[in-house]
């Protein structure tokens, strides 16, 4: 099911698989729910291994991947005997400080097995809003990629305040996609994509396979969807889509709950593909 308007109907659709295969630079966003076992509070090791194997395959084809990952708060929450949901803000920040180290160690070990180094970057909204700081961040991303190191980005939860934080990594990933002039942003979720209604409530709900414009009708679908249990939910995913599409970057929402989630998209797994709207904005000089 695809939502088109006017002249757009004549433009052939690009599937999520093609979007991934043709991308020169991709941003892959991984949520806590996929990465951290809800029962044990530990990293889902085999799943992470499969994801990294997928990402390494992109690099071997000459494509660049930047990871935006959550998981710091969930991993550090065991210090408070909680999985993050009922912590006070300062406890969450403390959990993030502890969990971020565990998170990066897990990525580092996994990437190292394939001969890749990792570069950790912690960003805030202010870093992305400020031209000078955004330029420095982008320069670092480029140098890491030149060195064969994978940039792994999270929000700097310990310094971001409630008023200034981006707050969810869906939008952070979209801002990174905009900064990096990425071709596609992949949001791995616990559902197949955007549904017309919550598929748990209504078995007749249909997956929207392509979105070319975020209309009020599309927004209504997201607000009625309780199917996505990650912290951001479908509403923040649409906010991310708006940022990415406006920056000329396509976006894909797909299920990431099974191993090798990117390979699954390439092999045609169900997903929602968001079509880039505008000419990309060039924020920073490419070296």
* Residue 279 region by backbone torsions, left for phi larger than 0, else alpha for psi between -120 and 50, else beta: beta
Helix (H) or strand (E) holding 82: none
Rg (CA), the chain: 18
Interacting residue with ligand GLU among 50, 110, 123, 168 (CB under 6 A): 168
Q: Whole-angstrom Cα distance, residue 185 to residue 177?
A: 7
Which of 185, 182, 117, 123 minimizes the C-alpha distance to 154? Answer: 123
Q: Residues 6 or more apart from 207 whose CB is under 8 A from it? A: 1, 192, 193, 194, 195, 270, 272
Q: Which stretch binds ligand GLU (CB under 6 A): 150-158, 186-194, 205-213, 243-251?
A: 150-158
Part in contact with ligand GLU (CB under 6 A); list of ranges 42-50, 64-72, 214-222, 263-271: 64-72
Q: What are the residues facing 252 on neighbouring strands?
A: 186, 273
178 binds ligand GLU (CB under 6 A): no
- The answer to the question of residue 156 lying near ligand GLU (CB under 6 A) is no
Residue 43: DSSP 8-state:
B
Residue 31 binds ligand GLU (CB under 6 A):
yes
- The span from the CA of 148 to the CA of 80, in Å, is 37
Residue from 127, 157, 183, 210 that binds ligand GLU (CB under 6 A)? 157
Q: How far is the CB of 141 from ligand GLU (least distance, A)?
A: 18
232: tokens are 């951001």
Total interface residues for ligand GLU by CB under 6 A: 15
Is 41 a binding residue for ligand GLU by CB under 6 A? The answer is no
Q: Which of 58-66, 68-76, 184-192, 206-214 is the region at the interface with ligand GLU (rule: CB under 6 A)?
A: 68-76
Binders of ligand GLU in range 199-238 (CB under 6 A): 231-232
3-class secondary structure, 274? strand
Asked if residue 154 binds ligand GLU (CB under 6 A), the reply is: yes
Specify the stretch interacting with ligand GLU by CB under 6 A; choose among 65-73, 134-142, 189-197, 219-227. 65-73
DSSP H or E stretch at residue 244? helix 233-246
Which of 155/192 has CB closer to ligand GLU? Answer: 155
Between 72 and 141, name the residue whose CB sits nearer to ligand GLU. 72
Residues 6+ apart with CB under 8 A from 112: none
Task: State the nearest-atom distance from the C-beta of 74 to ligand GLU, in Å.
Answer: 6
Site membership for ligand GLU, residue 189 (CB under 6 A)? no
Helix 45-60, helix 89-112: angle, nearest 10: 60
Q: Which residues sit at the interface with ligand GLU, rule CB under 6 A?
A: 31-32, 70-74, 96, 154-155, 157, 168-169, 231-232
């Amino acid at each position: 099911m695809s939502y088109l308007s006017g002249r757009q109907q004549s433009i052939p659709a690009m599937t999520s698989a093609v979007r991934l295969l043709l991308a020169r630079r991709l941003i892959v966003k991984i949520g806590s729910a996929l990465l951290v076992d809800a029962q044990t509070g530990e990293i889902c090791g085999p799943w992470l291994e499969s994801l990294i194997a997928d990402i390494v395959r992109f690099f071997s084809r000459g494509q660049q991947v930047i990871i935006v990952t959550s998981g710091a708060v969930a991993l550090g929450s065991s210090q408070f005997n909680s999985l993050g949901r009922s912590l006070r803000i300062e406890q969450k920040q403390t959990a993030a400080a502890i969990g971020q180290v565990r998170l990066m160690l897990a990525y580092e070990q996994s990437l190292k097995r394939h001969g890749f180094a990792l570069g950790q970057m912690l960003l805030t909204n202010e870093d992305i809003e400020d031209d000078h700081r955004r330029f420095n961040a982008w320069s670092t991303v480029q140098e890491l990629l030149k060195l064969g190191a994978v940039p792994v980005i999270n929000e700097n939860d310990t310094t971001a305040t409630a008023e200034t934080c981006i707050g969810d990594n869906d939008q952070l990933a979209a801002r990174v996609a905009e900064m990096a002039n990425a071709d596609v942003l992949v949001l791995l979720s616990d559902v197949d994509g955007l549904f017309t209604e919550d598929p748990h409530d209504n078995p007749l709900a249909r997956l929207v396979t392509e979105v070319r414009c975020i209309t009020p009708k599309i927004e209504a679908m997201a607000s009625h969807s309780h199917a996505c249990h990650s912290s951001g939910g479908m509403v923040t995913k649409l906010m991310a889509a708006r940022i990415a599409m406006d920056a000329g970057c396509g976006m894909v929402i797909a299920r990431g709950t099974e191993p090798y989630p990117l390979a699954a998209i390439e092999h045609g797994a169900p997903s929602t593909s968001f079509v880039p709207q505008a000419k990309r904005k060039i924020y920073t000089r490419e070296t």
